[in-house]
Every structure is written in C-alpha cells, then in structure tokens.
Structure 1
Amino acid sequence: RDVDTGVAKWAYQMTPFDEWDYDGINEPILAELDFDGTKRKTATHFDRNGFGYTWDRATGELLVAEKYDPVVNWATGVDMDKSSKDYGRPIRVAKYSTFKDGKGADVNTKGVCPAALGSKDQQPASYSKLTGLFYVPTNHVCMDYEPFKVSYTAGQPYVGATLSMFPGPDEPKRMGNFIAWDGAKGKIVWSKPEQFSVWSGALTTAGGVAFYGTLEGYFKAVDQKDGKELFKFKTPSGIIGNAMTYSHGGKQYVGIFSGVGGWAGIGLAAGLTNPTDGLGAVGGYAGLSEYTNLGGSLTVFALP
C-alpha cells in the first residue's frame, strides 16, 4: 500500500478458492536478496498452504514460489510461466480437493498435506543478514478432511468439517521441522526435525545463532550455518511463545515464554479428549501430554 494514501499498489492471492482453511495470516519479511548478482528489495512469506513466496516488494513481481515442506501435496507447484493465464496460481491436485463431488455429495478427502493449521501458522520466521537465509519454524502435519452442512448460529462455532490430523507420511514420523531457507532460490538449506510442530517464533542474532522453542518445552540454540545444536534447556512447559533478546546494565539477555496452548496445545490446555476437536488437533497432538505440563513461565538467560 501507498503509506501516504492507503491505496493498494499490488496484491497477490496465495490460495484462490481456499478449500482447506489455508488463510494466509503469516508475516511478510523484508530483505535484500541476491538474484544471480542482482540485489533486489524483497518480501518473503511462508504461507499456511506450504509454499514460500518471495516478491519484489516495490512491484509485486512474483520471484519465487516453492514448497518449504516437501510433503505438501494439495498442489504440485505454482505456475511461474509469465505468458500463462494461470501465472502465479497454484497447480492443484484434484484428488485432494475437499469440495463436493459432481452429484452434490460430501467427500472425505484423505491425506491432505498440510493440515488446516498450515505448514506454518502465526509463529514468526526470522531473517539473518549474516547468512542471507530465513529461519522457519514449521508444522509437518497432514489431515483427513470431511465436510458437512452446518447452519450459522450467532455466537456458536461455525465449522462445517470434521478433521483428523497426523504426522507427515515420511519416516521416521515427526510433526515439525526447524529449517533454514534460501529465499532467492526457494530451497531448504538445512532442516532440523522435531517430534512435534515447532510452534515458537524464531530469533536470529548477530552472533550467528538461531533460537527457537519446542512443544515439549525445550529452548534451543543452533548454528545458523548448519543447524548444529549448540544449547538446549528444558523449560517448565511447552513453548509457543517467541524468543526475544534485550540488554540491561551492559549485559545481553535472551528470554522465552513457556506455557503450552494454542492450536497444537488445545487438547492439553482445555482438557479436550475427542480426537476431532480443535479441527483434529486434539488427536494429532494427543501424545504431547506425555512430554510436558500446563504452566506459564518466563525463562531468561544471561549471555557471558
């Protein structure tokens, strides 16, 4: 948008006719990226639909649109042919549509990746000028999606689908990854698997470290270059908060809120047991109760 007038200068729709609840709430990150020796001012966005997008932020030109979780299957890719009438649109896979069939009957679509919570939801990614890479907490989760007719009632849930969530199809089974992403090439540089979704935000520092938290409650520091784990600490509860850093009295500190909840932790936090509650998140994350407890704490570390 033009900051003086508020008028939109360009726009892009990630998932036209969204059938899976992939509404793209995720943040755009501003950077200056190198495209074959040419520096461009860009905006990079990791959408819930599982694609990482990079645009020229002045013109809106789509530069990159690639899967940042390899198991994403609702679309094979995004049409990047500028001469095509479908330029910029996802190339959908018909078998993963959740829409009614031609006779008006509801269908139970199985094995859709990602699940409705997306390959990334509200947990923010981070960019490091040291490496030129983005660091992204992800959900490695798929779903079965069965729609049904529902009537709107004011003040009541208005969800016309029964969902079941489960880990991606690859082995060993896991529900999350913390990845380093090349926004100019649209490629994963390295990936660190996690048993559950990485639901915390990422923090990168000028010291070459990336911080994030896990749903089991571990606060971790890894090397930005290769993902090597440098430090971890078990906090009292699962982490869905964002890592932060600040200085006080000439000393630098890193802090993290822990307290499991949100979509992934709704079953544990709200005492829900029906596996299809929380749009299937209760069943998908049922094992989380074996690894962490409810709570709310701020844990702070002082850097030497």
Structure 2
Amino acid sequence: MYNTMTSIGKHIVENAAEFGLTSTEDLKTIGATHQPPPDGARWLVMHALRTVPNHTADSSFGHGLITGPGAERFLTQVKFEVRTRSPEPGSDFLWDTARQFRDKVYGALKNAQPGGKVIPRYDWSDPGNPLAAGEIWFEVNPSVSPVEENLEDPQDPANKSIFLTYQVHWWRPAPTLEPAEQDPWLEALTLWTRSRLGEGWTINCSDGLETLARPAVLWNLTGLSTKQSTGSLFEVSKKFTGRIFGCLPHQHAMAAVSIMEGLSGEVKMVLNAAEKKYAAVVNPQMEIPSNALREARVTVELTRKTPRPEEEVALMMKIKTEGSWQ
C-alpha cells in the first residue's frame, strides 16, 4: 500500500490548488493529525481503510484501467477527511466553508469524464527515481463511491469535518520470471499503430504494461487458426485485439476511429520487408462500450499463406495469448 498511497499523496501535492489546499503542508496522513488544527485551518487528511484483491471477471477494471495478463489488481477503501476550523477560537460557524472545501476535493477526483479520475501509480523504492508501476482509479458513482459523512466536534463546534470514502481501484505489474518471446505479427501491428497515431501515444503489447502511459494502445494476440488452402499451402490466421485508453474526453473514441479507418484501407501488413513477408488485413472492427470510462477496442485478423504452418504453431506454444488457437 505504501506505493499506492504515496502516489496519491504526490498527485495531491502537485495539484494542491485544485484540491483547495493553500499549502502542501495542509495534506496530512492519519498518523500526523493528533494535534488540533490551528485557527482557520483547512486540512485534507487521508488514510487507507481496507485493501482486497480484485480479480473477478465482472470487475470495473475492464472499463477504465490499462490492465492485462501481466497485472495484479486491488480495491482499497480510502477515506479523505475535509477538516476545517473557525478562524475565531471558541466560536461556531456554518458548514459553508467545509462544504466548499469538500466540493473542491470531489471535483479534483471526479475529472472531466464520468467515472472518476485515473492517475499513474509509481514504485517509490528509490524516492529520487520513482518508476511507473500501474494506475489508480478513484471511482465516482453516486450509489457507491464516495460515501459522505458529516461530523461536528461536540466539545468544540469550531471544528467541522466531512468524510469522503472512495472505492479506489489500482493495479501493479505482476513479477515477470523470464521475458516472453514476441510474435513478429504483433510487433508489426504495434509499429503500424505507432505510425498511424503519431507522437504522444504509447503503443505496446501486454508484456509492456508497466511502461504504458496514457494515451495508450495495448495490443494482444487473442487467437490463431490454420487451414489447408491448396495441396502445399496452409492459411494461418491470427486475431488481435487493441484496447485504446485516452486521457482526454473522447480521445479513445477518436483514436479507435483512426485505427479502424487505417486498417480498413490497408490491403496487407508488412511483417518483414527484407524477406518480403506480408499478411492480409481482414475484417477490422471497432467497439466503444456504452459503460466504458475511457476505453475503446479494435479487433482485426491478419492472414498469410505459408507452406510451413508448424513455424507459427511452434511460436504460439511459447507466447501467452488471451484467446485460443486451433
């Protein structure tokens, strides 16, 4: 939890004004709040309540976070206390100040798109050089998250607190025992996508989860099939699914349309120009789920005729896929 909570704290410090903080010193952890707040204080106190693994098939991860086979997923309840104190000791004051502060915190974690903000997660083993290590999503759903509770100090009405308890989803890369062998067809599709979308986009396959930064496209090999075409040739078909993640409104949808249009106009994909190896582009499709937060999907099939299908089958035995092969 240290890396996750430190990443959250770092994000708040870097965006202090957006959260309604007048100073980065006004962000507190639960262990640093035993002393009473000074007159006129506006503190934001955060601490983690409970963390559980989140690997269920119907998890909301599929709609907002960049995950794949190489990810460990978790759900943490994080409580934010919006704590305010009257500038005049011993005097009561209305809830307006606390509610305005609460609105700033809520707005900062809501983001411009529905569903809640997604921020990068880092590994802080070396504080001077943190490494990207997943993502963190603050779920915003009126029926679930955040849960709000108001509290007034009965002994000192100058102190007022509003608690916001969020369902915070996050993932980290799973340990990799050995580097996986890469499919040259997947590499070719990755290079084509990078050329299509241009600079500013991270394009990778599932083996590179820890290096992804939004906006991003994550391609996976999801199936392989072979069939005899003629007496000496076999047709090898591979299906790929690209998950597209944006960080701006509608960015994922516009990128999906661009990839879809580009693939529809391609007759063949270059696999190896030097060896003159090509694959035909077949039936590209696009999907933008209605409940997706910032994700779209594109699927495409690449086919190639070869007298040696056993080469592709042997390679598939070494590569993880998310689908099946026949």
Q: Which is helix-richer, 1 or 2?
A: 2
Q: Same fold (TM over 0.5)?
A: no
TM range (shorter): under 0.3
